[in-house]
Structure 1
Amino acid sequence: MSCPICGKPTDPAYRPFCSRRCADVDLAHWLRGDYAIPAQDDEPDETPEGGAEDPDGAAPRGRPH
């Protein structure tokens, strides 16, 4: 396994990094917010055919003819 920061072989004392420096660089990335887990949108972008309930709980309406 290689260090995720610089690519050198890892040191068991700083695993998965090769040194204290690379471990600190990674910590700085986390503290600055450089690493982020993308938010997952719970609501679909479009209402599927047949219609889902409106956000206020009303029944779906048919299409105008």
Structure 2
Amino acid sequence: MSDSVRVVACPTCHAPVRWEPQSQFRPFCSKRCRLIDLGEWASESYRVPAQEESPSEASRGE
């Protein structure tokens, strides 16, 4: 097995981030980038798509 460390791109600034226990903010490169991402979720700039249930489906528990 290889001792190479996986490197990923920070989702916020795209800087290289080593995927190892010492990288405390992974997958982000820094606390700043992690907080920027959290702020995007909090302001609803990022959303997870969902389908709304119709009233008849909700009452049947489907």
The bucket for the TM-score relative to the shorter chain is: 0.5 to 0.7
More strand by share: 2
What value does the CA root-mean-square deviation take over the aligned residues? 1.8
Identity %: 41
Larger relative contact order (CA 8 Å, sep ≥ 6): 2
State the number of aligned residues.
44
Q: Which runs of 4+ in 1 moved over 3 A?
A: none
TM-score, normalisation: structure 2: 0.59
More helix by share: 2
Match of 2:5 in 1: none
TM-score, normalisation: structure 1: 0.57
Gaps of 5+ in 2: 1-7, 57-62
